[in-house]
């Protein structure tokens, strides 16, 4: 499902203008249709995502061969047209595209940068459901970013691949509407050399099958997911499965280099998932877990149901952070990248809560520590407007968390935690914005909060308001 932007920055540049008054682009037979926009309308990431349709489901049927690094197969995208479509784009970086069909009929296609431009044989009517199938093959080329993003997307490793795609690396392994405003369900059918384990989101639908030296893994994520949280991490892994104390299925896996971490990854992930369920509201997904690979990404990523830890042994704090993202970011997803504090500020605040819960510093002490420290870079960067070239700045994390603490002081513990639970309930498996959070904070808190958010989220100075 997709969020429609009021301002679609891309439609003009794509030549897709609104139909003239009285001539709506309808689904009636013979309607001319218009090209879908080349971007979904996020002003900071104008090429990301696409316009004119809303994805409901991705079905990935892929093979990967670690020695040659060749990824090949078919991705089928089930979508609904939000306008009569003469043409539309998918995001795809690299690969040779061999064939594209729309509802089974051959479509023409062209590559324009990271856009795969598809022209179906006949116009797709407004509100029509359609399936586009893309056959492709090649060596994935992950994004190597010059800003603070590091390497992300489908990253080949010595025994497989480490797949973490935030913010826009899903296009390095499957054609998609690569923006968090369009969530969809997924199923994965991935073939690899026998002895390799494939770890995707959700649960396996049947045990892996091996024949002729090839193993096929089938996974399904039944809850809507943003593209950057999808994964098919693969390689040699040791796996432990079971259930949390409250009964949520757990899947934990470690590269053999981290096998001594498997028990603690499993146990901590289970414990944290159950605890957050009491604090943030019911766990939003059908399983939980985590994966440690030996690729040194320098970061972790909250892949839905299976956070990834890249080349380090995660401590409780980072596990608490990535699992808090299952509520904040994964279930309740952002609509525009500038609202990223809704993910990172909340997950960082969860670290403070976990510390307090386990007998470490209280959230209040953590807040005071940051507030007293010399943090000029943080005070210069208003976390309510994450910068496209510095998305994961410390301010988005720490000052975002501080914002929540000041809000908590103002409205009191009962209302604050009621607010968090209402937020995760109201926007479960959907998208939300900072403006919606501010409105809900005001209505549940029953106090004016504009001054607080202005100072903490939007001003380039050290706020003096602390409650
Ligand atoms: N969302 C991740 C985290 O908190 C950070 C991802 C950083 N991504 C990147 N490409 N460097 O924990
Ligand atoms: Zn995070």
Q: Give the residue, by CA position, lying nearest to ligand 1 atom 10.
A: 149
> Among positive and negative, which fits the CA dihedral 170, 150, 301, 207?
positive
pLDDT tens-digit map of 174-191: 999 999 999 999 999 999
pLDDT, position 9: 35
> How far, in Å, CA of 121 to CA of 307, rounded?
41
In the chain, pLDDT over 70 holds for what percent of residues?
Answer: 93
Helix (H, G, I), strand (E, B) or coil at 151: strand
Q: Give the residue, by CA position, lying nearest to ligand 1 atom 6.
A: 301
How far does residue 13's CA lie from ligand 1's centre (Å)?
30
Q: Which ligand is nearest to the CA of 348?
A: 2
Ligand 1, CB cutoff 6 Å, lining residues: 149-150, 152, 166, 299-302, 344, 392
How far does residue 301's CA lie from ligand 2's centre (Å)?
7
Q: Tell which one of 146, 155, 301 to mutate to probe ligand 1, the residue whose CB is within 8 A of the most ligand atoms.
A: 301
pLDDT, position 148: 76
Bridge-based pairing state of the strands 143-144 and 85-91: unpaired
pLDDT tens-digit map of 48-90: 999 999 999 999 999 999 999 999 999 999 999 999 999 999 9
> How far, in Å, CA of 344 to CA of 400, rounded?
7
Q: Do 221 and 202 contact (CB within 8 A), yes or no?
A: yes
Closest atom of ligand 1 to CA, residue 318: 12
Q: Give the residue, by CA position, lying nearest to ligand 1 atom 2.
A: 301
Q: Which two tokens stand for residue 221?
A: 């994520």
Show the low-confidence residues of the chain (pLDDT under 50).
4-29
pLDDT, position 94: 98
DSSP-derived secondary structure for 375-406: -HHHHHS-TTS-BTTBTT-HIIIIIHHHHHHH
Q: Which ligand is nearest to the CA of 324?
A: 2
Find, among 78, 88, 76, 101, the residue nearest to 25 by Cα: 88
Q: Tell which one of 146, 166, 307 to mutate to probe ligand 1, the residue whose CB is within 8 A of the most ligand atoms.
A: 166
pLDDT, position 1: 61
Q: Give the residue, by CA position, lying nearest to ligand 1 atom 3.
A: 301
Q: Give the residue, by CA position, lying nearest to ligand 1 atom 5.
A: 301
Closest atom of ligand 1 to CA, residue 143: 10
pLDDT, the chain, mean: 94
pLDDT, position 31: 65
How far does residue 392's CA lie from ligand 1's centre (Å)?
7
């Amino acid at each position: 499902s997709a969020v429609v932007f009021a301002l679609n920055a891309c439609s003009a540049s794509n030549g897709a203008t609104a139909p003239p008054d009285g001539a709506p682009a309808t689904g009636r037979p013979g309607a001319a249709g218009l090209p879908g926009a080349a971007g979904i309308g996020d002003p900071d990431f104008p090429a990301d995502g696409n316009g004119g349709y809303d994805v409901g489901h991705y079905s990935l049927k892929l093979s990967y061969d670690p020695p040659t690094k060749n990824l090949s197969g078919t991705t089928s995208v089930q979508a609904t047209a939000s306008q009569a479509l003469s043409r539309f784009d998918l995001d795809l970086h690299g690969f040779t595209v061999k064939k594209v069909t729309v509802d089974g009929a051959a479509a023409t296609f062209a590559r324009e940068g990271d856009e795969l431009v598809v022209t179906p044989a006949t116009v797709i009517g407004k509100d029509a459901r359609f399936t586009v199938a893309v056959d492709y093959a090649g060596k994935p080329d992950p994004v190597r970013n010059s800003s603070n993003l590091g390497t992300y997307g489908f990253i080949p490793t010595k025994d497989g691949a480490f797949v973490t795609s935030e913010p826009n690396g899903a296009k390095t392994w499957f054609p998609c509407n690569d923006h968090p405003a369009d969530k969809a369900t997924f199923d994965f059918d991935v073939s690899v050399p026998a002895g390799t384990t494939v770890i995707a989101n959700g649960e396996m639908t049947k045990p892996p099958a091996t024949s002729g030296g090839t193993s096929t893994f089938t996974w399904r994520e039944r809850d809507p997911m943003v593209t950057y949280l999808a994964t098919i991490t693969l390689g040699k892994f040791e796996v432990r499965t079971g259930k949390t104390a409250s009964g949520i299925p757990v899947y934990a896996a470690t590269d053999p280099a981290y096998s001594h971490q498997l028990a603690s990854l499993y146990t901590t992930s289970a414990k944290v998932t159950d605890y957050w369920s009491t604090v943030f509201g019911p766990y939003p997904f059908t399983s939980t877990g985590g994966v440690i690979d030996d690729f040194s990404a320098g970061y972790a990523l909250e892949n839905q149901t299976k956070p990834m830890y890249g080349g380090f042994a995660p401590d409780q704090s980072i596990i608490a952070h990535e699992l808090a993202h299952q509520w904040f970011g994964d279930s309740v997803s952002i609509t525009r990248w500038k609202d990223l504090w809704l993910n990172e500020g909340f997950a960082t605040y969860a670290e403070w809560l976990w510390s307090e819960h386990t007998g470490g510093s209280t959230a209040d002490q953590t807040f005071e520590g940051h507030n007293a420290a010399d943090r000029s870079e943080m005070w210069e960067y208003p976390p309510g407007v994450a910068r496209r070239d510095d998305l994961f700045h410390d301010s988005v994390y720490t000052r975002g968390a501080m914002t929540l603490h000041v809000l908590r002081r103002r409205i009191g513990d009962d209302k604050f935690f009621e607010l968090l639970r209402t937020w995760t309930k109201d926007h479960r498996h959907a998208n939300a914005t900072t403006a919606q959070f501010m409105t809900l904070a005001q209505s549940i808190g029953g106090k004016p909060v504009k001054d607080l958010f202005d100072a903490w989220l939007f001003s380039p100075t050290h706020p003096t308001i602390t409650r």
